[in-house]
Chain A
Amino acid sequence: MATVYINDKAVDIGDKRLNLVQVAELAGVTIPHYCYHPALSVVASCRMCLVELGEKTPDGSVQMQPRVVPACQTPAKDGAVVQTATSKSKTAQGQTLEALLLNHPLDCPVCDKAGECKLQDYSYQFGFAESRMVDEKNTPPNKPDLGPNINLFTDRCIMCSRCVRFTREISGTSELHIVNRGTHSEIDVFPGDPLNNKLATNVVDLCPVGALASKDFLYSHRVWNLKTVDSVCPGCSTGCSIHIDANKDVVYRLRPRENPLAQGYFMCDDGRLGYHYANSKNRLSAPKIRSGQEWKETGWKEIVSGIDNDLRAVAAVNPKGVLGVLSPFLTVEEGFLLAQYLKSLSKDARLALGPIPVTGEDDNYPKTRNGQPAKVQFTIRQEKCPNRKGIEAILQHFEGKIVHLRDSLQGEKAEAVFLTGGYPPSTQSWLEPNLAKGISKTPLIINQDLFENAVAGQSKYLLPAAAFAEKEGTFVNHAGLAQGIKRICSGPRKGRTDGQVYLDLLGRKGLLHAFSLHKEIASAVPCFAPLLTMGPQGVNLEKGS
């Protein structure tokens, strides 16, 4: 049992190996820091976390060290006494900030980081109001071509080297270096070796100041106007925890959310920059019904009763002819409601798992320059859908087995297909030609997707689906971790979320609140019982904790 005293507050850290920044966080005290990041090695180069350190002697008296020490590099030990608010610590913090600001251009009005910048926050909290710098500031030229997605505003950099350590330790690609010395140090890449690995844009989040900027987000919005919700990246089955930043129904960026149960601290660029389809103008925007060769836009009331009547007519004659295709982009709740609806038409109605988009192979990081294998810290999975496991569990419950779409098309002839999509355009060929051909033979196709797909021309009903930012529910990732996604955009004005349509088809009243369905799902499908205890970090369905 080790006890550390932070500003006279005793913190019991047990036998954990922590540094003083982490212990202070446990005590609710913020020790300012730039270069320290829990996922990266400690270099103690920014000197922002200087604190006064002492020790409690057995007789109860406290002996303080004469100098300040960097908290990030000092392991906490039993009896350590840390003072973060004494005049010595405060002077050290203020002087460090003054030194960091010597060459900083202070162009906050045009800097994209303004509003979430640690240099702004700490200057306000710990800094001095004015600079005593009389010489001209260093203004090294910007490097707009540091990488295809990344821009470097060289003069704003404070040399914390987080980005350099990230490319060396997490991505393993080592593109970034510090060149020159002393006050002329700069972050740079070697000529012909740009910062273009698949995790590169994480350095923008890591950068505590506005030096590294994402070209995708650059100048598109001010951060204080953004609204944020916690969600899950739908890009692959890793299911990275993310923040969605949006305003006025437009998604502006995705940021990784720290989650030790899911992916850790980072996310890949494919996922981060893969949200644009949600804002696309080409999305299906209103429900349509075909009469002859013409499409007719109608209200949802007519659509829902039309679908219900048509499916009931088929189910009455040929129950096995009703085929529901559950896309791996549906949430658990949506899958549950749709399966429940189709099974309520007839017990013999068939359910199948929609195509699983797969691209290449699992992409593991860190990469190594010399081919040495390294301990995998991050994986971009080949399976480009967020919820295969969740839908499989639904199918297992309702169907007793997991049937893939291609197998069920080869089986008995389908008379009516309820096809759910939600695939982003990057997997646009998800409905392979032979599958499309198989489906298009069906007389009644109910087609719900984000964009017009291969069987849109043959469908009787064409419904707009909701993108990940427009619905709420649960995704289950490759390892069985169930995490909640939340709604931040309202989607097409005439659209309705997938889950709401299924709720309407079931004849249940009211608006869908996915998380209230957990009780019902957990009692119906036992493997989803842990959902009832799901927190912001999710819950693992397979470990049952």
Chain B
Amino acid sequence: MIKPEEITWVKPPTFGLMDQIYLPAIISGLGTTLGHFAKTVFGGPQAKVTQYFPEERPELPANYRGVHRLNRDEEGRVKCVACYMCSTACPAHCIDIVAAPSPWPDREKYPEVFVIDELRCIYCGMCEQACPVDAIELTSLFDLTGLSREEMIFNKEKLLSVFDQTVAMGKDPVRTKAGRLSVASEPAGDGLTDSSSVQS
């Protein structure tokens, strides 16, 4: 229950004559527009806002969350251990994994199938946060287009190819670096610091 003394009543401002005829407000608004116009025309290349996309590509901030990729380990194998943490964390339920015993001796489990529905994804980055082995990352690829829905459902090979593509572009280095399985399995200290420092 809110007490009466806690309530502050705010009255709407009353309009004077100048406010009621609106003209001064319109003129001052036009002033702002003209100011920007002048800045764009005479301000030189620095002041330009519009870009000639797609000939010119925007510089996106480093934390931009675009298309996903599945990272590869040093030997080029998929880094993912099929722990389902990303699909569990995913609020849009767009990640589908089928796990299988791994063919490699240093690991128990690997994803036989790893599918992300890029149309259903809301690009929140929770999968990236949940991953204990830093196998899934969101890249700076933002202009994702396709001609069919099926095309936008990315499977493991496609997601690995996004990794190859973005690493080759040089814009998206592997941002995180944790241990082989997780920070939990590494000795305390270096595992933790490694994963928290953003490598660029």
Contacts and interface: CB of A to CB of B under 8 A. Distances in A.
User: Are A and B bound to each other?
Assistant: yes
Interface of A: 105-110, 130-131, 134, 153, 218-220, 222, 224-225
A106 B99 contact: no
B188 to A, nearest CB: 6
Nearest to A136: B187
A106 B81 CA distance: 14
Interface string B167-185: 0000000000000011011
B188 A110 contact: no
Contacts of A134: 187
B96 to A, nearest CB: 11
Contacts of B133: 109
A106 B184 contact: yes
A141 to B, nearest CB: 10
B42 to A, nearest CB: 59
Interface residues of B, number: 20
28 contacts: A105-B185, A106-B182, A106-B184, A107-B108, A107-B181, A107-B182, A107-B185, A108-B184, A109-B81, A109-B83, A109-B133, A110-B82, A110-B83, A110-B107, A110-B108, A110-B109, A110-B181, A130-B188, A131-B188, A134-B187, A153-B108, A219-B82, A219-B101, A219-B109, A222-B84, A222-B88, A224-B88, A225-B84
Contacts of A108: 184
Contacts of B185: 105-107
Contacts of B85: 109
A218 B101 contact: yes
A219 B184 contact: no
B100 interface: yes
A220 B82 CA distance: 11
Contacts of A131: 188
Contact of B100 (A109, A153, A219, A224): A219
Contacts of A109: 81, 83, 85, 132-133, 181-182
Closest 10 CB pairs of A and B: A109-B83, A219-B99, A110-B109, A106-B184, A222-B84, A109-B132, A110-B108, A110-B81, A106-B185, A219-B109
A485 B84 CA distance: 31
Q: Is the interface of A mostly helix, strand, loop or mixed?
A: loop
A222 B130 CA distance: 15
B170 to A, nearest CB: 30
A130 B99 CA distance: 30
Contacts of A130: 188
A107 B82 CA distance: 12
Contacts of B132: 109
The listed residue with most A CB atoms (<10 A of its CB), out of B82, B85, B99, B133, is B99
Interface centre among B81, B85, B101, B108 (most CB of A within 10 A): B108
Contacts of A153: 108
Contacts of B187: 134
Contacts of B100: 219
B101 to A, nearest CB: 6
Interface in B75-101: 81-85, 88, 99-101
Interface in B127-181: 132-133, 181
A226 B25 CA distance: 63
A534 B51 CA distance: 74
Nearest to B188: A130
Interface string B101-125: 1000001110000000000000000
B85 to A, nearest CB: 6
A219 B88 CA distance: 15
Q: Taking each of A218, A219, A220, which has the highest tally of chain B beta carbons within 10 Å of its own beta carbon?
A: A219
A64 to B, nearest CB: 36
A358 B107 CA distance: 44
A155 to B, nearest CB: 11
Contacts of B82: 110, 219
A242 to B, nearest CB: 25
A105 B181 CA distance: 10
A104 to B, nearest CB: 10
A402 to B, nearest CB: 48
B178 to A, nearest CB: 11
